[in-house]
């Protein structure tokens, strides 16, 4: 009995006894060699991606970040639960880090799993300023593995982030290499009939859109752990071992469809949180998401990790092998994806006169890539949105031209497959619902929420202790990965208390997706699309959480509400 009491007493003291782990990072100009081209970029500790930062759940960390650039910088700890003033978003969390100065982040590690870090200043992240975070849990994992590799994906473009943004503003299809051809028109006419094909083309023309508007930016080289396809990053294994692969999508704009021909994958974590294991042949990883999978190669042969862009315009490739130098066949890219009217919420055949033209004099002035202001009651709701109670599959629209199918007819991971291993929160009714329409104008390359860009928008105000249900209505042709800083997002995947907990939620074209948030983090937070150029063009909000256990902190958050742009 005395021993048990002593053990309990010591466990109460443990938080005070945990020593801080101290880490040093420098922010530097670096050269990035993709194998296709070499460009100047930004990295950490002299390279891009930066080092894999390894923490332990329960420790207190101190991270000294020295800015060796000639411009301001910042680091955001993506998916980490921490005090708002350590979150690393200039103008919301803090002013940023000046050239030549060192800023020290200090926060407790309250979770385990796979995460990442990146700059939140300008276009430094797409220019290379990112790295991986691996957090070891306090207790045992609910799954076994013998080896552990980070697989960090990115899309590296020859142009700088600033140049890409200028070009998109000047000509939104500047980087679209998959535009429809005359030959494709005749092929469609032969298959669907001339009149149907003409009507289809006219409908897309009215919206000033193209079926190839699946990706904004093409012409990139896909990379894994800083190595292009020809450079071939390789992870070693012994036959029969269980290998944990920590996939992180650190791309600026690219969704990847990932498969390893010859190997089944068991998904065990999503966005750092344990999920009930699900066996898949392929999965789509949205920008900023993470997935942990277990594979078990039984033969002494090489296997290709193949990550193909959602629009089929490029790929990243790496290898698992028992020896260095071994390679496996690299699959061919599949046919380029095309949007369909199902992706646009069954706009096909609608009376465009019912649209809210917002004062526009003709179709060329309307918000071409959105359905904002339309009467949704006339739509085929089965193809646009999921049920009000909860989506059966919130990632993909029915009948969608970009619904993924696994190679060779295998199992493709869906959000509906994700169920929490252990619920993080008590299942309770939300206190209110907030609707966020994801809106944009492709011709002017402006992106927004509820038709309002960040600089013109009021903050979203939440009260500490409430549970808010967010309703995302994607009125655009693009898939948007929505990221709320500082608090977990409980994705409504129709699993009730077993709904998965994530930090980034993808919303496909023409779909409605719900998530709930326990408002348990006082202060100011960012809430935005994680496609770099969409966030920069206005699909961004500030969230202010009022009240909470630390009234001083909450008042400080409100007092600094007007402090600059992110």
Q: What is the pLDDT of residues 146-156, one digit of tens each?
A: 999 999 999 99
Out of 37-46, 263-272, 330-339, 475-484, least confident range: 330-339
Q: Which residue has the tokens 């937070």?
A: 525
Out of 59-63, 221-225, 352-356, least confident range: 352-356
The helix (H) or strand (E) run that includes residue 241 is none
| Bigger pLDDT: 560 vs 529 | 529
- Quote the DSSP letter at residue 106: E
- The residues, ordered by sequence, that sit 6+ positions from 110 with a Cβ below 8 Å of its Cβ are 57, 81, 82
The helix (H) or strand (E) run that includes residue 262 is none
Tell how far CA 112 is from the center of its chain.
19
- Which pLDDT belongs to residue 209? 53
- Which pLDDT belongs to residue 408? 81
| Bigger pLDDT: 273 vs 560 | 273
Q: Which residue has the tokens 């092929």?
A: 187
Tokens matching residue 46:
């002299």
Helices (H) and strands (E) in the chain, counts: 7, 30
**Could you tell me which of 467, 460, 503, 498 has the C-alpha nearest to residue 484?**
503
| Bigger pLDDT: 160 vs 207 | 160
**In percent, how much of the chain has pLDDT > 70?**
75
| Bigger pLDDT: 500 vs 170 | 500
- Which pLDDT belongs to residue 191? 64
| Residue 366 confidence class, pLDDT cut points 50, 70, 90 | very low
- Which pLDDT belongs to residue 145? 98
**Could you tell me which of 212, 318, 302 has the C-alpha nearest to residue 258?**
318
- Quote the DSSP letter at residue 548: -
- Which pLDDT belongs to residue 342? 53
- Which pLDDT belongs to residue 463? 97
- Please state the rounded mean pLDDT for residues 325-340: 85
- Which pLDDT belongs to residue 6? 38
| Bigger pLDDT: 11 vs 175 | 175
CA pair distance 68, 102, nearest whole angstrom: 9
- The residues, ordered by sequence, that sit 6+ positions from 544 with a Cβ below 8 Å of its Cβ are 459, 460, 461, 462, 523, 524, 525, 557, 558, 561
Q: Residue ranges of the alpha helices (H) in 68-193? A: 161-170, 182-192
- Please state the rounded mean pLDDT for residues 100-109: 98
pLDDT in tens, 497-546: 999 999 999 999 889 999 999 999 999 999 999 999 999 999 999 999 99
- Please state the rounded mean pLDDT for residues 228-240: 98
- The residues, ordered by sequence, that sit 6+ positions from 202 with a Cβ below 8 Å of its Cβ are none
CA pair distance 222, 307, nearest whole angstrom: 8
- Other CB atoms within a 10 A radius of the CB of residue 33 amount to 15
- Which pLDDT belongs to residue 503? 98
- Which pLDDT belongs to residue 252? 96
The helix (H) or strand (E) run that includes residue 438 is strand 432-441
User: Could you name the CATH architecture of 145-178+214-338?
Assistant: Sandwich (2.60)
pLDDT at 17 exceeding the cut of 90: no
| Residue 141 confidence class, pLDDT cut points 50, 70, 90 | very high
- Which pLDDT belongs to residue 187? 57
Q: What are phi and psi of 283, to 5 degrees?
A: -145, 155
**In percent, how much of the chain has pLDDT > 90?**
68
Domain spanning 416-559, CATH class: mainly beta
Q: What's the Cα-to-Cα distance from 47 to each of 44, 127, 129, 167, rounded to whole Å?
A: 6, 12, 9, 27
pLDDT at 355 exceeding the cut of 50: no
- Which pLDDT belongs to residue 356? 32
Q: Where are the domains of the chain?
A: 18-140, 145-178+214-338, 416-559
| Residue 343 confidence class, pLDDT cut points 50, 70, 90 | low
| Residue 183 confidence class, pLDDT cut points 50, 70, 90 | very low
**Could you tell me which of 121, 117, 120 has the C-alpha nearest to residue 134?**
117
- Please state the rounded mean pLDDT for residues 283-299: 98
3-class SS of residue 201: helix
**Could you tell me which of 111, 185, 92, 146 has the C-alpha nearest to residue 564?**
92
| Bigger pLDDT: 308 vs 351 | 308
Is residue 109 within 8 A of residue 63, CB to CB? The reply is: no
pLDDT in tens, 546-557: 998 865 444 444
pLDDT at 386 exceeding the cut of 70: no
User: Could you name the CATH architecture of 18-140?
Assistant: Sandwich (2.60)
CA pair distance 329, 399, nearest whole angstrom: 32
Q: Are strands 233-236 and 315-321 parallel, antiparallel or unpaired?
A: parallel
Q: What's the Cα-to-Cα distance from 107 to each of 75, 225, 424, rounded to whole Å?
A: 14, 27, 21
| Bigger pLDDT: 389 vs 436 | 436
Question: What is the overall mean pLDDT for the chain?
Answer: 83
Out of 70-84, 283-297, 436-450, least confident range: 436-450
- Which pLDDT belongs to residue 194? 66
| ω into 416 cis (within 30 of 0) | no
pLDDT at 466 exceeding the cut of 50: yes
**Could you tell me which of 415, 410, 412, 413 has the C-alpha nearest to residue 392?**
415
First to last CA, the chain: 56
- Which pLDDT belongs to residue 3? 37
- Which pLDDT belongs to residue 548? 85
- Which pLDDT belongs to residue 213? 56
| Bigger pLDDT: 213 vs 120 | 120
């Amino acid at each position: 009995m005395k021993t048990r009491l002593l053990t309990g007493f010591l466990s109460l003291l443990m938080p005070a006894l945990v020593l801080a782990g101290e880490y040093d990072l420098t922010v530097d100009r670096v050269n990035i060699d993709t194998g296709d081209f070499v460009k100047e970029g930004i990295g950490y500790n002299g390279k891009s991606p930066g080092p894999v930062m390894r923490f332990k759940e329960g420790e207190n960390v101190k991270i000294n970040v020295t800015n060796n650039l000639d411009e301001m910088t910042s680091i955001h700890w993506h998916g980490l639960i921490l005090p708002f003033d350590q979150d690393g978003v200039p103008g919301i969390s803090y002013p940023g880090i000046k050239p030549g100065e060192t800023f020290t982040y200090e926060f407790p590690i309250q979770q385990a799993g796979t995460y990442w870090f990146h700059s939140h200043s300008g276009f430094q992240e797409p220019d290379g300023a990112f790295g991986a975070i691996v957090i070891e849990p306090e207790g045992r994992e609910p799954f076994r593995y013998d080896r552990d590799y980070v697989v960090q994906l990115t899309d590296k473009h020859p142009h700088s982030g600033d140049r890409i943004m200028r070009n998109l503003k000047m000509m939104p299809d500047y980087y679209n290499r998959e535009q429809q051809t005359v030959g494709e028109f005749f092929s469609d006419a032969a298959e669907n009939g001339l009149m149907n094909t003409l009507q289809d083309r006219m409908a897309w023309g009215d919206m000033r859109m193209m079926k190839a508007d699946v990706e904004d930016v093409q012409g990139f080289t896909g990379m894994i752990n800083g190595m292009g396809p020809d450079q071939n990053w390789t992870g070693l294994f012994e036959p029969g071992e269980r290998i944990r692969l920590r996939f992180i999508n650190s791309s600026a704009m690219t969704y990847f469809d990932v498969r390893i021909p010859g190997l089944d994958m068991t998904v065990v974590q999503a966005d750092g949180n344990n999920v009930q294991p699900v066996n898949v042949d392929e999965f789509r990883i949205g920008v900023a998401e993470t997935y942990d999978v277990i594979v078990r190669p039984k033969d002494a042969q090489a296997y290709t990790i193949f990550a193909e862009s959602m629009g089929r315009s490029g790929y990243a490739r790496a290898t698992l092998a028992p020896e260095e130098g071994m390679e496996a066949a690299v699959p061919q890219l599949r046919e380029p994806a095309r949007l369909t009217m199902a992706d646009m919420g069954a706009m096909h055949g609608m009376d465009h006169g019912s649209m809210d033209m917002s004062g526009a004099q003709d179709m060329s002035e309307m918000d071409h890539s959105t359905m904002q202001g339309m009467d949704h009651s006339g739509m085929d709701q089965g193809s646009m949105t999921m049920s009000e109670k909860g989506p059966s599959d919130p990632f993909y629209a029915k009948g969608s031209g970009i619904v993924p199918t696994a190679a060779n007819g295998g199992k493709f991971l869906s959000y509906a497959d994700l169920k929490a291993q252990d619920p993080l929160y008590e299942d309770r009714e939300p206190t209110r619902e907030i609707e966020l329409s994801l809106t944009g104008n492709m011709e002017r390359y402006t992106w927004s929420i509820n038709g309002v860009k960040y600089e013109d928008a009021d903050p979203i105000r939440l009260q500490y202790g409430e549970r808010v249900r967010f309703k995302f209505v994607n009125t655009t042709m693009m898939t948007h990965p929505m990221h709320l800083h500082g608090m977990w997002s409980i994705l409504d995947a129709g699993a009730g208390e077993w709904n998965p907990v994530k930090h980034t939620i993808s919303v496909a074209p023409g779909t409605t997706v719900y998530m709930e948030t326990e408002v348990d983090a006082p202060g100011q937070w960012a809430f935005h699309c994680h496609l770099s150029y969409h966030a920069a063009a206005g699909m961004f909000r500030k969230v202010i959480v009022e009240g909470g256990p630390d009234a001083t902190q909450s008042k400080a958050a409100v007092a600094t509400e007007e402090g600059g742009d992110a």
